């Protein structure tokens, strides 16, 4: 099946700093999503971005599907940005080529923002 | 507000017991999914359902069972056959089962074997 690798595994920042999180995937994808898992465990949708660039406030994301990677940018980080960031993809090759929306997750990037 | 509701938030199970985790959505989504998360790891798919009265095994289905009698509901039963059930369980839904659309998640249920 498709492999998803996220880097870095851990990231420690001072409040106000900028950061870039990376997601590499091993095959073509139909869907790519970025999530933030808060301290209570809930997965918050950040971006649905199978290709192109999107921005939402201090966060933006870019997916270059032909080169099999996606980047999540966090600018002017705040302590509330702390948590785990996951990249997840849907591959058209799962289930014998019939996609059923199964998300394959990376291991996540643990972000800690200090005041 | 539309969303996905999981209950209970915390669940304790004795050895040998079956327990059922609830997942309800009012988003009018066709497809629903159950994932399991172990500490420090990403999520893995247990079961999924694209339409009512149909469901399929995911990557780690052994020791689990599901039903999909209503569009809004997709309960997961963790049976005594599941050797290591302590984990965080997340339910998700997508609008269409046969096409690729954005997935949304519930708040999760933390299951502990005592």
Question: A103: closest CA among B52, B45, B73?
Answer: B45
Residues 6+ apart with CB under 8 A from B86: B111, B112, B113
β pairing state of A52-56 and A4-7: unpaired
Average pLDDT across chain B, whole number: 92
- Determine the pLDDT at residue A96: 46
Confidence at residue A30, expressed as pLDDT on a 0 to 100 scale? 83
Centre a 10 Å sphere on the Cβ of residue A14 and count the other Cβ atoms it contains: 9
Contacts of A50 in chain B (CB under 8 A): 100
In terms of C-beta density within 10 A (0-12 exposed, 13-18 middle, 19 or more buried), how is residue B22 classed?
middle
Interface mutation target, options B105, B107, B108, B112, chain A, most CBs of A under 10 Å: B105
Confidence band, pLDDT 50/70/90 cuts, at residue A54: very high
Beta bridge partners of B90: B35
CA distance B102 to chain A (A): 6
Nearest to B23 by CA among B12, B39, B38, B11: B11
pLDDT in tens, B68-83: 999 999 999 999 888 8
Which are the contacts of B39, defined by CB distance < 8 A and separation ≥ 6?
none
Q: Which residues of B touch A (CB under 8 A)?
A: 31, 33, 35, 37, 40-45, 48, 50, 56, 58, 88, 90, 92, 94, 97-98, 100-108, 110
Across the interface, do B41 and A107 touch by the CB < 8 Å criterion? yes
Residue carrying structure tokens 């058209």: A92
């Amino acid at each position: 099946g498709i492999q998803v690798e996220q880097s870095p595994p851990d990231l420690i920042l001072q409040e106000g700093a900028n950061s870039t999180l990376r997601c590499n995937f091993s095959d073509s994808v139909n869907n790519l999503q970025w999530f933030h898992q808060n301290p209570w465990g809930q997965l918050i949708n950040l971006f649905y971005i199978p290709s192109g660039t999107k921005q939402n406030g201090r966060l933006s994301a870019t997916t270059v599907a032909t080169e099999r990677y996606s980047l999540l940018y966090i600018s002017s980080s705040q302590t509330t940005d702390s948590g785990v960031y996951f990249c997840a993809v849907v591959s058209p090759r799962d289930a014998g080529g019939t996609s059923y929306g199964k998300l394959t997750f990376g291991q996540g990037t643990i972000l800690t923002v200090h005041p | 507000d539309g969303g996905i509701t999981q209950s209970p938030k915390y669940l304790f199970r004795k050895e040998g017991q079956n327990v059922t985790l609830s997942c309800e959505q009012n988003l009018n989504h066709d497809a629903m999914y159950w994932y399991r998360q172990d500490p420090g790891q990403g999520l893995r798919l247990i079961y999924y359902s694209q339409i009512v009265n149909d469901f399929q095994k995911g990557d780690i289905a052994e020791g689990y069972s599901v039903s999909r009698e209503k569009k809004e509901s997709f309960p997961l039963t963790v049976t005594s056959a599941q050797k290591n059930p302590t984990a965080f369980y997340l339910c998700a839904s997508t609008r269409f089962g046969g096409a690729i659309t954005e997935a949304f998640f519930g708040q999760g249920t933390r299951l502990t074997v005592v």
